[in-house]
Structure 1
Amino acid sequence: MTTLIFNKPFNVLSQFTSEGGHRSLAEFIKVPAVYAAGRLDRDSEGLLVLTDDGVLQNKISSPKYKAPKTYWAQVEGIPDDAAIKALRAGVKLKDGMTRPAECDMMKEPAGLWQRDPPVRYRKSIPDSWICLTIREGRNRQVRRMTAAVGYPTLRLIRYRVGDWTIDGVENGTWKEVQV
C-alpha cells in the first residue's frame, strides 16, 4: 500500500489529467496507481492525501466517516465574536446547515510560502486568519461558510486531514507516509 501527502500549490487541479490548460498532479507526482482521497479546489492550497488503498480513500473522502479536515483561511476583514460563534454552531448554506466546526482566530502561519499570484489586498479593508476544522466536505464549503458570516475567504490552505499535516512538506512537494 502506498500513501502520499502532497502540499498542493495554488492553481493546480487535484487530478492527474489536465483540463483547460491548468496544471495537474502529473506535473508533481510520478508514483503509479495513487489517486487523490478527496478533492482540493484548484484555487485552494495545502494538504492532499493520495493513496492506492480504496478503503483508506473512502475513509478520508466519505462524509460517513467524518474525518476532520483543518483549514487556514485568510479572510477579508476581522471576524467578530458573532461570526466565530456562528461558524462553531454551523452555518445555513443554500444546501442546508453545516455541521458545527471548530473555529478560532489565528496569526498568519509562520513560514508560509508566497502564493503565485499573490492574494488581492485592499488598502481600506484589513485581512485576518482563522483556523477552521470541519467534518464534512461539501463543495467549496469553507469558502461558503466564511462568506455566509460576512468574511469572504481570500486564501485557503488545508493544513490537516485526520492525523496528517503539511508540516515539513514544502509547497509543491510530497512525501510517503505510513498508515
Structure 2
Amino acid sequence: MLAHAREPCQNHPMLILFNKPFGVLPQFTDNSAAPRPTLADYVAVRGVYPAGRLDMDSEGLMLLTDDGRLQARIADPRHKMEKTYLVQVEGDPDQDALRALQTGVTLKDGPTRPARVEPIDAPDLWPRDPPIRVRKSVPDHWLRLTISEGRNRQVRRMTAAVGLPTLRLVRWQVGNWTLDGLAPGQWREAGAD
C-alpha cells in the first residue's frame, strides 16, 4: 500500500489528495499504547502535513501539503473554503430538517453558517470496513452536504441537531479538489491552484 518515499520539490508547493480510510488517524504519528493506523502507513512523502483534519471515524478526502500558506488557505475557516460531504443518516430527512441545515443550526459552540444540502440516491462507494450498523426498523438516507467552515465533528453534530444521526461520513470535495478516481488508501499529487 505504501508507495516509495520521496522528497518534496523546492520550486512549487506540493499538494497531495489522499482518500483516508475509516479508522485511520488523520496525522502521521500515534503515541497511544496500542498503535493505530496513521497517515504514515499510507503516504511516504517527507515534509507534508494535513491541511485540516478528518476524524478517525470519517472517510474520504484529506489534503496534505508542504506549504504553510496553502495549508492555511485550505484549513482556516476565514477563507470559507467549501467542503462537500456524502452523509448517510439514520431517519427520514423531512423539509424542516433540510431547511434547518440550510439556514444554519445552533450547536453548543454557536450557530453554524448556512449549508447547502440535498437528498441524494445512495452513492456508488467502496464498502466500509467495518460496515455501518443498520437497524431494519429505522430507515436511512443519503445527503450531499456542503459547508464553508470546519469545526470539530461539525457535520455529525449538525445532522444530530436536526434528529438525523450520521451513520457514515465521506468527505468528497474540498474547494475544487475531489476524491474522484481515488480508492481508499490511495493518494495522488494535484495542482495547488
Query: What are structure 1's unaligned runs of at least 5 residues?
Result: none
Q: Give the greater-gyration-radius structure (CA).
A: 2
CA deviation string 1:23-45 (max 9, x = no partner):
10000000110000000000000
Q: Following the alignment from structure 1 to structure 2, what is the Cα–Cα distance between the partners of residues 29 and 165?
A: 18
TM-score by length of 1: 0.98
How far the C-alpha of 1:157 sits from its partner, in A, is 0.4
Give the corresponding residue for 1:74: 88
Q: Following the alignment from structure 1 to structure 2, what is the Cα–Cα distance between the partners of residues 71 and 41?
A: 13
CA deviation string 1:31-76 (max 9, x = no partner):
1100000000000000000000110100011011000000010000
CA deviation string 1:70-120 (max 9, x = no partner):
00100001200100000000001111100000000011112x111111000
Segments of 4+ in structure 1 off by > 6 A?
A: none
Matching of residue 120 in structure 1 with residue 133 in structure 2: yes
Query: What are structure 2's unaligned runs of at least 5 residues?
Result: 1-12
Task: Trace 1:17-56 onto structure 2 (pairs within 5 A).
Answer: 17-20=29-32, 21-56=35-70
- What secondary structure, in the 3-state scheme, does the structure 2 residue paired with 1:57 have? helix
Matching of residue 145 in structure 1 with residue 161 in structure 2: no
Q: Following the alignment from structure 2 to structure 1, what is the Cα–Cα distance between the partners of residues 100 and 180?
A: 29
Q: Which amino acid aligns with 1:103?
A: V
Q: Following the alignment from structure 2 to structure 1, what is the Cα–Cα distance between the partners of residues 25 and 189?
A: 20
Matching of residue 11 in structure 1 with residue 29 in structure 2: no
Q: Following the alignment from structure 2 to structure 1, what is the Cα–Cα distance between the partners of residues 93 and 139?
A: 11
Q: Provide the aligned length of Structure 1 versus Structure 2.
A: 178
Q: Following the alignment from structure 1 to structure 2, what is the Cα–Cα distance between the partners of residues 18 and 94?
A: 29
Given candidates 44, 58, 76, the residue that maps to 1:62 is 76
Given candidates 143, 152, 168, the residue that maps to 1:130 is 143
- What secondary structure, in the 3-state scheme, does the structure 2 residue paired with 1:139 have? coil
Q: Which amino acid aligns with 2:53?
A: R
Q: Which amino acid aligns with 2:54?
A: L
Q: Following the alignment from structure 1 to structure 2, what is the Cα–Cα distance between the partners of residues 165 and 109?
A: 15
- What secondary structure, in the 3-state scheme, does the structure 2 residue paired with 1:124 have? coil
How far the C-alpha of 1:19 sits from its partner, in A, is 3.8
Q: Following the alignment from structure 1 to structure 2, what is the Cα–Cα distance between the partners of residues 27 and 54?
A: 23
- Segment of structure 1 superposing worse, 15-24 or 43-52: 15-24
| Superposition RMSD in Å | 0.7
